Structure 1
Amino acid sequence: MPPEKQQSLLTFWGKAHPASEVPAHPLAYHALDVAAVTQCLLSSDPARCSALARALGVAESDCVRLLGALAALHDVGKVSLPFQGKAPEHRPAVLSDYPELVDPGHDTAAWLWFVHLAPRDLKDRLAPTGALNRMLPAAFGHHGRPPGQDRTTPRRARDHFPPESVQAANTLVEWVLARLGPTDPLHISTDAAKRAALAVAGLIATSDWIGSAQRWFAYTRPDHDLDTYWYDIACPRAEQAVRASGVVPAPPAGLRPFHALASLPEGSATPLQHWAETVALPAEEPILCLLEDLTGSGKTEAALMLAHRIMAAGRAGGLYLALPTQATANAMFDRLGELYRGLFKRETTPSIALAHGDRGMHPGFRAATLPANQDERAYGDETAETVADVPAGAQCAAWVADDRRLAFLADIGAGTVDQALLSVLPARHAGLRRWGLLGKVLILDEIHAYDAYVGEEIAALIEAHAALGGHTVLLSATLPTSLRDQLTNAFRRGAGVAQSPQEAAARPEALRPYPAGTVLCRTGEDAQSIAAWSRQARRLPVRTLATPEQALSEAETSARDGQAVLVLRNTVDEATAAYDALRDRGLSPLLFHARFALGDRLTIEAEVMRRFGRHSQAEDRSGAILVATQVVEQSLDVDFDALFTDLAPIDLLIQRAGRLWRHARRGRPGREELVVVTPAAIPDPNESWIGAVLPGTAAVYRNHGVLWRTARLLEAEGALDLPDRARALIESVYGQSAPTPEALLRSSSEAEGQAMAGRAKARAEILPLSSGYADTHHWEPDHRIRTRDADDPVTLRLGRWQDSVIQPWIDPDPKVDRTTAMAWQLSQVSWNLKRLARTAWEEPDPALARAVAEARKTWGRWERDLPLVVLRPTGKDGWTGEARDDKGQPLAIRYCPQRGLSLT
C-alpha cells in the first residue's frame, strides 16, 4: 500500500474532545483500537467465542478474524463529508471545497457506503453478500439500533462520500482485509448471520465503549503507519484495557459434588438436587432443563448445580437468574451469594451484579464495571444530533448507570425477567443484552407466574438463546401442560429440532411424573420422576371464609395469640385497605406491595426477611402481621404460622401454601391450615359470583371459570395433598375437560380471547430471529418498551422539594457508595395506570420548572424524559405531588413510605 494513501486516511479524524493535549484521534487508529478490543474480548472469553463460531458455522479462529474485521469497519461512515464537518478544526484539507450537508448519522452513512460504494473485495473476501447484508448492520449499528437501510439513493451516497472520502474508506478496507480478515472467504449462510447479528452488535458496542476510553486509548498523533499502530500500540493497549474493564469472565471452578458446592454436610441434598448432580447431560448441543417440584425442595440450588456442571465443562462462562419481581430477585441474590462463589476458581474474583437495588458486595466478588464518560459531548450541533452520534462514552455512562443493565456484563447476574426480555424486544442496545446472555446459563424461576403476553416473550427468549447454543433451566412448582408445551417447543425451534412422534404421543398429562426433572436436547426428551422419599408427604387442611372482613378478624386473633400472620390480598388497593383496617384495630402490620419507591421497597424487603425469613427469631415473629400482594408468592423464603389469602387459581394457591409452616420450628403457635376467602362454589353461580365478594380478584384473574373450579376443588378436597396430587389438582382446574358454569362462560371466553390477543400483541413486538438486526421496529429506550400486557407501565421518579431544590426521594449516601444517580434510580416507582402520562410534562411554576431542569441534568441521557413527581410534606407520614393524565390535566398523588403511592 503506498504510504501516501495511508497518510491521506490518517487526516480523517474519528474522536475529538480529548482528555490530553492531543486534539483528535485519527479515525483509522480508533478503528484499529476497537478491532483489537474485539479480538481480545473473543480470545479471552472461550464460551462466547465458541457460541458465536458455532452459530455462524465457522472455526473459532475464523470467527475472531471475521468479527475483528467487522469491528474495524464499525465507524467507516465517519469518513463521510457530513461527519467530518462536525469538527471544522479537524476537517481534512482534501474536503475543504465541499459544502456542508445534513448528517444522517454515521451509522446510516456507513450503510449507504456499503451498498453503493464499497469495493468488491470486501464482499468477495469476507463472506457471501447475503451474510454481509446481515452482519455489517450489526457493526454499523453499534449505537443501540440498526442503521437506516435505504437502498434507493446512490446519488445521496456520492454526495456524502466525495472521491477523497471513498479513497479513505477503501484504504482502510484494503488494510483490514490484508491484516485482519480471514485467510479465505467464509461460507456463512444468511440464516446463520441473522441468528448471530444482534449478539455481534452487542459485542462491537462493548468493544467501541472500551476502545473509546481515553484512560487506555489516549489520543495519538498520526505519526505511525497502520502496521506499527496495530502491532505496537492498539494490540497492547487492548490487552490491558480488556483485563481492566471488568467484562472478562472469571474461570469456572472444576467439577465438585453438590455438598461441596453448597457448603453442606454430605448426603444433605434433596432428591431434586441429587438428580441435578447426577443426571446425564448431553454434550456439544444446547440443553433445556425443566425442574418441577414444590416450594422448599431446593429448585434454585439444583439449577445452580446444573449451571455449575455446564460451566465446569467449559460450555458456559456465567449465568443470569431471572425472577418475576424485584423482591424475588433481591431475596434470591442474598440467599445464594455464597453458593454463587463456588462456581468459580477460588483464586479469582468473579463479577456479580444484582439487577435491582442498593446492594453491598458479597465477599470474594467484585462489581461488574465498564468504562464510562458521562461528560463526553456530542460533535457539532447537539440539538440536531442522531443517536449514532452520541459519543460512546456518554452512551456507556447512560447504559451502565443502571444496575439492571450492568447485570448482563457480570459473571453472575440476578434480576427480573423483564430485563432479559428486552434482549428480544426493540429496546435500544438490545444487542448488549443478547451479547451479555451469550455463553451464559439462563435460569428462569417461577416460570408459571406470567400471563400469556409475557409467556410469549419468554418463549421467544428461550428460542433466541437456544439458537445461539445457550442452555436454559426452567423452574416451577406448578406448570400447566399448555405452558410446558409452549416453552419446550420454543426451545426445539431455537435448537433446530422437531418433536418426535413418540414424544408428541407421550400424553396424557396425568401420566407425567411429579416431582420431575426433564432434560431436553436435539436428540430428544428425557423426563424422570424425582423421588420424594426424603420429604414427608404433606396434607395441608384448607378452610374457607366468606368475606375479607372475617379473614381480618381471624388474622387479628391469630396475631394476638402470638402467631406470625400473612394476609395476602390480590390488589394493591385491597392490601392497603386491609393494612389500614388492621391499624384501626390497634395492630402494627407491615405492608408490602409493588407500588413503593425502590429504596423504600428494599427497606421493607429487609424487614420482611428479618421478621419472617428462614432465620427469623421467635421474639420478632410473635404477633407480627404482614399484609402483602403477590410479591410474596414466589421465591421469597418466608415462613408464617397463619395464612389468610384471597381466592386465586389453584397453581397460585399451591405457591402461597409454600409460605405456611415452611420451616421446622419448635413450639410453633397455631395450627397448620390454609384459610382462603372465597364465595361458595355453588352449581349455578351468576356473573357476579366472584366480583360481589372479591372485586379486585375478579379484575386480576379474568377467567372466572378457573376461579370457580378452584373453589369447587377446595370444597371437595378439604386439603391439599402435596406433592402426591399436585399434578392432578392442577389438571382438574386447567384440563380441557374441566367444567364451567354457564354464567361464567362469558368471562372464561373473554379471558381466553384476551390471552390469545396478548400472545398476538407480544409477537408483533418481538424481534424475530428471521429478521436479524434490521431496521424494522422503533428502537426505543428501555423505559418506553412494554414487557407486560397491563396498562402501559409508567416509571415515575419521586423528588422532594426542599429549600428551592429538588432532591431525590432516597438520599444519596457516600458511606454506602450511593451516588446521586443511584439515589434517583432508587427513587423510581412503576405504576400501571392507563390514564397517567408516560412522558415528562411542563411545570407551570417557573421556579419549580427551573428546579426540575436542574435535577434532570444529573440524569442519564436516555432518562431525561421520565416524569418527575415533586413531593411536598402534608402531614406526619404523607407527601403529595402532582402528575398529569394523558390529556395533560393534573392528578394529585400521595406518597407515604409505609403505604406507598396512591391517587388522592
Structure 2
Amino acid sequence: MTEDWMSGIDMWLWGKSRDLESTYPLVCHCLDTGAFAEVLWDRLLSPGVRGWLCGQLKVDEAVGRSYVAFVAALHDTGKVTEAFVRKDADAFAKLSGYPVVAGNDQNHAFAVHTFLAEALRDLWGLTAGSDAECVRLAQLLGGHHGGYSPLDGRAMGAPGKYAPWLGWGKWDQQRRLLVAALHELFGSPTPTGSLTKEGAVFITAIVILADWLASQVTYIAARIGSVPAQAGRGVLAAHLEAARHDAPGFVEAAQLGGATVDAGSFAEEFPFDPNDLQASIAQNLPGLLRGAGILLVTAPTGEGKSEASWHAARLMGEASGRRGFFLGLPTMATADQAYQRVEEYLNRHLTSRSALTLLHSMAWLSKAYDPATEPGRVDGVSSRDWVRALEWLRGHKRGMLANWALGTVDQALLAVVKVRHNVLRMLGLANKTVIIDEVHAYDAYMQGLLLRLLHWLGATGTPVILLSATVSGRMANRLIAAYLEGAGQVNGRDRQPVTYPGWAYACAVTGEVHPFQVASRHRRLAITRHEVPLVNGVPERLGVLTGELAPLLDAGGTGAVICTTVAEAQETFQSVRDWVQGSGARVDVWLLHSRFRVEDREEHTRKILARLGKEGRGPDGKRAATILISTALIEQSLDIDLDLLVTDLAPMALLLQRAGRLWRHVAEQLKTPLVRPAWASERLAVMVPTGKKGELRLPKRWIYDEALMIRTLDALTDVVDVPGDVQSLIDTVYDAAFLAGAELTEADLAHLAGESLRRGKARQAAIPTPADMRDLSELSAGLDEERLGTRWGAESGRIVCLYRNDGRLWLDEHATIPVPDRKLPPPSVTDNECLPREGVRAVVAKSVPVPSTWISGVTNQAPASWAKDPHLRSITAIVCDTPSRGAPTIVRLGDRSFELTKERGLQER
C-alpha cells in the first residue's frame, strides 16, 4: 500500500444518521468506538477483571488494551454493504463504482460475522488451518447486538463464494481498507493465539458498551461538524486523538468507573460493635484471602448477616482486585428495603462519587430511588447526590454496570439465561463482589440457574458471598462445589462447608474450605400444633385463631397470622376482624398480601413497619394492640417484630424463617426498651390442615410440595433450640431420606420428579459452562426472551381499572386522575418517550398483580399508546362502572367477578 493509502477510504460510507443533521462517516464511528473501549479498559474494568482478561489472552495489559480497542473498532465494518448504505438514500446516491448486489438483505452484525474471519486471516498472514482466533473474533463481533449467530464454516471460510450478498469489487476493497486502517491506528495488534470463549464473552460486552457510548447523539452531534471531507492517515489519526480526548468525559457522565471506599475495621465501618459472627469474619477472613473465593454465611435471622457481608465484600474485593458489590435479594420488597440501608452505608464510606442502582422491573416506582426526590442529608452531605444513579445508568440493561447495585436475584441469574445482552450482565457482575441473600429461598429451577451462575463466577475469578438462615447441607455443598469447579478446582464436590451458625470460606486458588462456627443468640422456640379441619376444601381457622389471639384482646400485644393463599388471607381477615369488633376490644386488624393496588400495598406496608418495626412503640415501650393477617410476604420482606405468630403449615425452612419474626428486636438493638405483654412467649403456633380422620390433607390451592410438608410435620418437635436444632431439622427434611436409602413414598417420588423436571428446564434455559460451550452461539441459541425466565411458573399479569365519567376515562373513581394517552409518536421517537413519566407512574401505581390465567382472553381496553410503552404494554386495562361512595369496584375478568377495595385488595366474589 502507498504512504497515503488510507485516503482511499470512502467517507460517504456512513455509520450513523438517526437524529443527526447529516450522515456520520463509518470510519469515524469505528474510531470513536475503539477510543471508548480504551477508556472503558482504563476506567470501568476493575484491576482484577483486566488481569483476568489479560490472562485469557496471555498478554500484558498494554497489549490487551490495544487488542480490545482494535476489536471494538471493527464492530461495524459489516456496514460496508449495499443493504446498509441504501438506508440513507442521499448517502447512497453519492457512491460511485460499487457493483449492484442482488438479494442483499442481511443485517450488518451478521455481515461482520461472515466476512471478518477471512479479512483478519489475510491481514495477519494466517493460513486457513490456523485462523481459529479470526473465526472467534468474527463471531464475537457478530454478537455486538446482544445475540450470536451459529458458525457457518463455508461462508466464513470463503465469503466471496458462499455469501455473495456481501458485495464484492469495491465493497470488498472498502471493507479491507477499513480493517487495515483501524489495525494500524490502534497499534497494529497481533493475534494472541489464546482467545478463550469466556474471554470473548467479556470482550463482546466491552464492544457493546463502547458502541452504545459512541452512538449517543450528543456525542456525535458535537463532532459531526469537524468531520473531514477526505480520509487519510493524518486526518484519521487526528480524529482518533480527538475522540480519545472527549470519550473520558462521556464515560464519567455515564458514571462508569472506579469508586473508592474507606478501608478500616468493622467497628470503623458500622456505628455499633460487631457481634460474634461479624467479629469472627472480620478477624479471620483476611488471613484466608489469596485472590478470588466464595464465602458462605449461615446464621439465624437477625444476626447481622447483611453488615457482615458488606464488610466481607470489601475485603474480598481488595484481595481479588474488584470494587463495589451486587446484592441479590429474593423479592422486590426486600430489595426496596435494602436500598436505603445500602445507600446510608455507602454515604458513610465512599471517598468519591459513585452510583448505586436498584434493579428490578418496578424499581423506577421506588420513591427512594426516584431521581426527582429531594435528597436527604447525612453529616452535612447530600446523601442522595453522593450515590445517585443518573439517567444513563438507569437505561435498559445498564444498571448492573454501576459499581454498586442491588436488586432481585433474577438480575444476576439473567447473566446465565439465553437472553439478549446477557454478556453485559456477566461483565457487570464480574467487575464486583456478588452477594446472594436467602439462598435457601429458591426452588430447583432457580437453584439450577444459580449453580450455573456460580460456575461462571468461579471461572471468571469473581468473589461471591452467599447468605442463608436455613440452607441444607446438601445444597450448600452443591453451591460451593459449583463455584470451585468453575475455578478449576475439580475436587470441589468433596467439601463439607456448613457449620451452623457460622461461616465457611472456599479459596478459588487452592480449593481449600475453611469452616468457622460462632456463638449466636440462644432461643428456645415453643411449637404448638393445631389440627384445622378442611371445610369445602378450605381450612377452618377461626376456632384456633380466637383461642390463640384472645390474650391480645385483653392485654394488648402484637400478633400475625400467615395464610398460604391470598384468598384465604382475605377470608381470614374478614372473620378475625368481625370477631374482634364483636368483642368490643380496641385491636387493629390489618391485611397484607400481593393482590393490592401497588400504591395501596405500599401504604399498608409503611403502616405495618411504623407499628411493628424497630421504632414502633410509644414512650412507655408498649405497642398498640395489632393483629396482622398476611401471606408469606412477611417471612422475608419486612423487618417486623411480633409477640405471637400463628401460621399455616409450611416446609421446615419457611417455618423457621417465619419464626424469625418472633421477638426479633432484642434490647441491644433498640434505642428504647420494648415492653412485651405478660402473656407473650417465644412461641410459634402451626395450623395443620386435616381430613375427616385427622390425617394431613393439603388444600388443592396450596403450592407447597406434599413430600416436604409430610417430612416437616414428622420432624417438628414441641421445642426447637435455636440455633442448636436448626441445621439438623433442615437436613432431616431436605436431605436425609433421599440420601439414606429410605423407602420412598408416592409423595417422595412426586417430589423427586418435580425437582428433576425443574432442574432439566433450568439446564435448557441456562447457557453452557465455558468448558461445555462449543462456540459463542450457544450463549443465545434458541433465543426466545418471551418464554425464558428466571422463575418457575412465574407467569403473571397486571390489571388496572379505568372509570368512565363525562365521556372520559379516569384512573380513579373520583375522576381526578385522567388516563394518560398520547397519539403514537413518529418512528424516530423512542418507546419510553410515548407517555409522560408521571402518567406512566400513575397507571402502574393503580395496577394490581394477578395470575396470567385470569386475564387470558380478556379484552384489553387500554389506549393504543400504552402498547408502545415498556412499562404499560403488559398491563390489561378493564373499564369498570364507577362505584357509589364506599362501595367496592366490581371487576369482571371473563366469567369471573371480583371486588376491589383499598382495605382488602382484589377479592373474588
TM-score tier by shorter-chain length is 0.7 to 0.9
Q: CA deviation at 1:256?
A: 0.6
Q: Distance in 2 between matches of 1:632 and 1:125?
A: 64
Correspondence for 1:303: 309
Secondary structure in 2 matching 1:700: coil
Partner SS state of residue 75, structure 1: helix
Q: 1:825 to 1:276 in 2, by over 3 A?
A: farther
The reply to whether residue 580 of structure 1 matches residue 566 of structure 2 is: no
From 99, 102, 116, the counterpart of 1:114: 116
The residue number in structure 2 matching 1:387 is none
Aligned to 2:791: 788
Pair 1:571 & 2:573 matched: no
- Summarize the alignment of residues 326-365 of structure 1 with structure 2, pairs less than 5 Å apart: 326-345=332-351, 347-355=352-360, 356=363, 357-360=365-368, 362-363=383-384, 365=386
Structure 1 residues 606, 785: CA separation in 2 closer, same or farther (over 3 Å shift)? farther
Q: Distance in 2 between matches of 1:743 and 1:805?
A: 66
The aligned runs of 1:596-607 (5 Å cut-off) are 596-607=596-607
Deviations 1:734-753 (A, max 9, x none): 34258999999111210111
Contact 1:892/1:903, CA 8 A, preserved across alignment: yes
- Distance change (3 Å), C-alpha of 1:739 and 1:777: closer
Pick closer, same or farther for the CA change 1:364–1:102 going to 2, 3 Å: same
- How far the C-alpha of 1:724 sits from its partner, in A, is 1.8
The answer to which of 468-477 and 163-172 deviates more is 163-172
Aligned position for 2:507? 521
Of 894-903 and 439-448, the range deviating more from structure 2 = 894-903
Give the alignment partner of residue 217 of structure 2, picking from 214, 227, 245.
Answer: 214
Cα distance in 2 for residues equivalent to 1:206 and 1:260 = 37
Instruction: Show the 5 A alignment for 1:345-424.
Output: 345=351, 347-355=352-360, 356=363, 357-360=365-368, 362-363=383-384, 365-369=386-390, 371=392, 400-401=394-395, 405-424=397-416
* Structure-to-structure mapping, 1:106-185, within 5 angstroms: 106-115=108-117, 120-121=122-123, 124=126, 129-147=131-149, 149-153=151-155, 154=159, 155=161, 157-180=163-186, 183-185=189-191
Matches of 1:528 and 1:446 in 2, distance apart?
19
Shift of 1:893: 6.2
Q: Which runs of 5+ in 2 are unaligned?
A: 370-382, 533-540, 582-586, 667-672, 821-835
Find out whether 1:779 has 2:776 as its counterpart. Answer: no
Q: What is the correspondence of 1:221-620 to structure 2 with a 5 Å cutoff?
A: 221-223=227-229, 225=232, 227-250=236-259, 252-264=260-272, 268-281=273-286, 282-283=288-289, 285-313=291-319, 315-345=321-351, 347-355=352-360, 356=363, 357-360=365-368, 362-363=383-384, 365-369=386-390, 371=392, 400-401=394-395, 405-499=397-491, 504=494, 513-522=499-508, 523-532=510-519, 535-547=520-532, 548-554=541-547, 556-560=549-553, 561-585=555-579, 586=581, 588-618=588-618
2:389 counterpart letter in structure 1: A
Distance 1:569 1:36, change over 3 A: same
CA 1:147 to 1:602, structure 2 compared with 1: closer, same or farther past 3 Å? farther
Name the residue aligned to 2:380.
none
Deviation at 1:59, TM superposition (A): 2.5
* 1:299 Cα deviation after fit: 0.6
The unaligned stretches of length 5 or more in structure 1 are 373-399, 884-888
Specify whether residues 877 and 182 from structure 1 end up closer, same or farther in structure 2 by C-alpha distance, changes over 3 A only.
Answer: farther
Amino acid across the alignment from 1:217 = I
Check conservation: 2:291, 2:320, Cα contact below 8 A.
no
Deviation at 1:247, TM superposition (A): 2.1
Question: CA 1:451–1:738 in structure 2 vs 1: closer, same or farther (change >3 Å)?
Answer: closer
* Deviation (angstroms), 1:557: 2.4
In structure 1, how many angstroms separate the alpha carbons of the residues matched to 2:143 and 2:755? 35
Structure 1 pair 543–496 and aligned structure 2 pair: CA distance change class (3 A): same
Q: What does 1:68-87 correspond to in 2, within 5 Å?
A: 68-87=69-88
What is the identity, as a one-letter code, of the residue corresponding to 2:783? W
* Corresponding residue pairs, total: 827
State the SS of the aligned residue for 2:515: strand
Q: Distance in 1 between matches of 2:802 and 2:128?
A: 57
Aligned-pair CA distance for 1:180:
1.7
Contact 1:353–1:412 at 8 Å: present in 2 too?
no
- Label 1:88 to 1:230 Cα distance change in 2 as closer, same or farther (>3 A): same
Q: Deviations along 1:409-432, whole A, 9 cap, x unmatched?
A: 322211111121111111222222
Instruction: For residue 528 of structure 1, give the secondary structure of its aligned residue in structure 2.
Output: strand
Structure 1 position 646, deviation (Å): 0.9
Rounded to whole Å, the distance in 1 between the matches of 2:811 and 2:402 is 27
Aligned residue for 2:439, secondary structure, equals coil
From the superposition, tell whether residues 765 and 408 of structure 1 become closer, same or farther in structure 2 (CA, over 3 Å).
same
1:212, 1:808 → 2: CA distance?
38
Determine if contact 1:569/1:575 at 8 Å carries over to the other structure.
yes
In the alignment, residue 197 of structure 1 is paired with which amino acid? Answer: A
Deviations 1:786-838 (A, max 9, x none): 21122x5134363635566667789999xxx964455555566554445754x
| Separation in 2, partners of 1:96, 1:880 | 66
TM-score, normalization by structure 2? 0.83
Distance 1:95 1:434 in 2: 44
- Name which of structure 1's ranges 75-84 and 127-136 shifts more when overlaid on structure 2: 127-136
Over the aligned positions, Cα root-mean-square deviation in angstroms equals 3.5
- Which amino acid in structure 1 is aligned with residue 676 of structure 2? R
Kindly state the Cα deviation for residue 228 of structure 1 after the two structures are TM-superposed.
3.3
How far is 1:580 from its partner?
2.7
Identity %: 25
How far, CA to CA, are the matches of 2:422 and 2:799 in structure 1?
A: 24
The 2-side partners of 1:186 and 1:99 are apart by 35
Show CA shifts across 1:144-194 (max 9, x none).
2224644455456222323222122111110222222564421315xx2x2
**1:177-230 Cα distance to aligned partner (Å, 9 max, x none):** 2222564421315xx2x2133333332222212111121232343436453344
User: Structure 1 residues 128, 604: closer, same or farther in 2, change over 3 A?
Assistant: farther
1:848-889 C-alpha deviation (Å, 9 max, x unpaired): 5xx5212333x14xx675252335355346445566xxxxx7
Measure the CA separation in 2 of the matches of 1:583 and 1:530.
45
Instruction: Tell me what 2:715 maps to.
Output: 713
Q: Which residue matches 2:378? A: none
Alpha-carbon deviation of 1:440? 1.1
Distance 1:248 1:327 in 2: 29
1:389 aligns with none
Q: Distance in 2 between matches of 1:596 and 1:801?
A: 18
Aligned to 2:824: none
Which whole-Å CA distance do the structure 2 matches of 1:141 and 1:104 have between them?
14
Change (3 A) 1:423 1:727: same
Corresponding residue for 1:852? 863
Structure 1 residues 589 and 64, CA, compared in 2 at 3 Å: closer, same or farther? farther
Judge conservation of contact 2:652–2:712 (CA < 8 Å) in 1: yes
Which residue of 660, 664, 684 maps to 1:675?
Answer: 684
Q: From the superposition, tell whether residues 39 and 482 of structure 1 become closer, same or farther in structure 2 (CA, over 3 Å).
A: same
Calculate the TM-score normalised by the size of structure 1.
0.84
Q: How far apart, CA to CA, are the structure 1 residues paired with 2:52 and 2:349?
A: 20
* C-alpha distance 687-26 of structure 1, shift in aligned 2 (>3 A): farther
Query: Could you tell me how far 1:241 is from its partner in structure 2?
Result: 0.9
Letter in 1 for 2:37: T
Q: Which residue of 1 aligns with 2:825?
A: none
Whether the 8 Å CA contact 1:123–1:132 is kept in 2: the answer is no
> CA offset at residue 902 of structure 1?
5.3
